[in-house]
Amino acid sequence: MGVTCVSQMPVAEGKSVQQTVELLTRKLEILGAEKQGTFCVDCETYHTAASTLGSQGQAGKLMYVMHNSEYPLSCFALFENGPCLIADTNFDVLMVKLKGFFQSAKASKIETRGTRYQYCDFLVKVGTVTMGPSARGISVEVEYGPCVVASDCWSLLLEFLQSFLGSHTPGAPAVFGNRHDSVYGPADTMVQYMELFNKIRKQQQVPVAGIR
For 162, residues 6+ apart whose C-beta sits below 8 A from its C-beta are 169
Q: What is the pLDDT of residue 210?
A: 43
Q: Is the pTM of this model over 0.95?
A: no
Please return the burial class of 46, using the count of CB atoms within 10 Å of its CB with bins 0-12, 13-18 and 19+: buried
Q: What is the pLDDT of residue 212?
A: 37
Q: What is the pLDDT of residue 54?
A: 56
Q: What is the pLDDT of residue 145?
A: 95
Q: Which of 64, 62, 61, 60 is nearest to 75 (CA)?
A: 64
Q: How far apart are CA 44 and CA 55, in angstroms?
A: 27
Answer yes or no: is pLDDT of 170 > 70. Answer: yes
State mean pLDDT over 9-21. 92
Q: What is the pLDDT of residue 32?
A: 94
- pLDDT tens, residue by residue, 128-152: 999 988 899 999 999 999 999 998 9
Per the CB < 8 A criterion, the answer to whether 122 and 5 are in contact is no
Q: Where are the beta strands (DSSP E) in the chain?
A: 3-8, 34-48, 62-68, 74-79, 84-88, 102-104, 110-119, 122-131, 134-144
Supply the Cα-derived Rg of the chain in whole angstroms.
18
Residue type, 97: K
Distances (CA, A) of 166 to 135, 159, 163, 207: 23, 10, 6, 31
Answer yes or no: is pLDDT of 99 > 90. Answer: no
Do strands 3-8 and 134-144 pair parallel, antiparallel, or not at all (unpaired)? antiparallel
Share of the chain above pLDDT 70, in %: 90
